[in-house]
């Protein structure tokens, strides 16, 4: 039996995943979480084999949750399930410790196969995600300004666009406010944005965060 923890802040997504995976007797959802802190607590208590994880969560982002999960449970398999199919998200999340990256639009059969593969210690990149990554290389896609951000900077950016203040981000990431302020400065410098409003608008324009 492959025991799965689902982490997504949208209830309808969690319901859909329950219905999909109910068709696979060897895979069982043991718990669900709507935010990163809850996911970390459930992981410590339940020790799942697989964590199905969204990138954009309230509070801790998928980047921080991935990093902390691997620190607490090196053997846990992390599968990112996201609407973001384009760079830099797949490369950065895999670099942070995820074993698989899938689009939320992937077929149910591919999701189940990815869970089985990661449970065996393997890796999986969703077909649509892999295609976008390949096209990015072959066609010389115009670089996004977000490609130049580190995983840590991207994580801080996601929290800033979610409306979190520097002290709150610092507390969530277990960093000093000065360190987070430095990340924020670097993000604005790299994106050439003057303030958080400009940054959020740019993130929406490039599909880094969802539009309202």
Structure tokens at 3: 């025991």
128, 158: one domain:
no
Of 91, 113, 137, the residue that ends a domain is 137
Q: What is the spatial distance between Cα 47 and Cα 55, in angstroms, rounded to a whole number?
A: 21
126, 197: one domain:
no
Q: Which of 21, 23, 39 is nearest to 31 (CA)?
A: 39
Strand partners, 4: 29, 50
Position 208 scores a pLDDT of: 80
Is there a contact between 129 and 98 (Cβ–Cβ < 8 Å)? no
Position 83 scores a pLDDT of: 85
Which domain covers residue 152, as residue numbers? 145-205
**Cα diameter, the chain:** 52
Position 85 scores a pLDDT of: 77
Q: At what angle do helices 62-72 and 89-96 cross, to 10 degrees?
A: 20
Position 127 scores a pLDDT of: 84
Q: What is the spatial distance between Cα 130 and Cα 135, in angstroms, rounded to a whole number?
A: 9
Position 142 scores a pLDDT of: 56
196, 176: one domain:
yes
Helix (H, G, I), strand (E, B) or coil at 27: strand
Residue 79 belongs to domain with CATH number: 3.40.50.2300
Position 152 scores a pLDDT of: 87
Digits of tens for pLDDT over the chain (212 positions)? 999 999 999 999 999 999 999 999 999 999 999 999 999 999 999 999 999 999 888 888 888 899 999 999 999 999 999 888 777 788 889 988 999 999 998 999 999 999 999 999 999 998 878 776 766 655 555 567 888 888 889 889 988 988 899 999 999 888 899 999 999 999 999 999 999 999 999 988 887 876 65
Is there a contact between 73 and 96 (Cβ–Cβ < 8 Å)? no
Helix (H, G, I), strand (E, B) or coil at 96: helix
Q: For tokens 């002290």, name the residue.
A: 167
Position 137 scores a pLDDT of: 55
Of 114, 137, 160, the residue that ends a domain is 137
Is there a contact between 190 and 145 (Cβ–Cβ < 8 Å)? yes
Residue 159 belongs to domain with CATH number: 1.10.10.10
Structure tokens at 103: 């689009």
109, 200: one domain:
no
Position 76 scores a pLDDT of: 97
């Amino acid at each position: 039996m492959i025991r799965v923890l689902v982490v997504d802040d949208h209830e309808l997504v969690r319901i859909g995943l329950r219905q999909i995976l109910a068709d696979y007797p060897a895979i069982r959802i043991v718990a669900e979480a709507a935010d990163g802190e809850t996911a970390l607590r459930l992981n410590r208590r339940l020790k799942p084999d697989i964590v199905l994880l969204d990138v954009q969560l309230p509070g801790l982002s998928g980047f921080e949750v991935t990093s902390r999960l691997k620190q607490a449970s090196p053997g846990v398999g992390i599968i990112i399930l996201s609407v973001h199919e384009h760079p830099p998200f797949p490369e950065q999340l895999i670099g942070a410790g995820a074993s698989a990256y899938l689009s939320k639009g992937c077929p149910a059969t591919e999701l189940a196969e990815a869970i089985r593969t990661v449970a065996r210690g393997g890796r999986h990149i969703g077909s649509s995600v892999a295609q976008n990554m390949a096209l990015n290389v072959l066609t010389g896609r115009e670089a996004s300004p977000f490609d130049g951000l580190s995983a840590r900077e991207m994580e801080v950016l996601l929290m800033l666009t979610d409306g979190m203040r520097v002290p709150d981000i610092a507390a969530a990431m277990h960093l000093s406010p000065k360190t987070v302020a430095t990340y924020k400065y670097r993000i604005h410098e790299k994106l050439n944005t003057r303030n958080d409003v400009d940054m959020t608008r740019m993130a929406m324009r490039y599909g880094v965060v969802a539009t309202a």
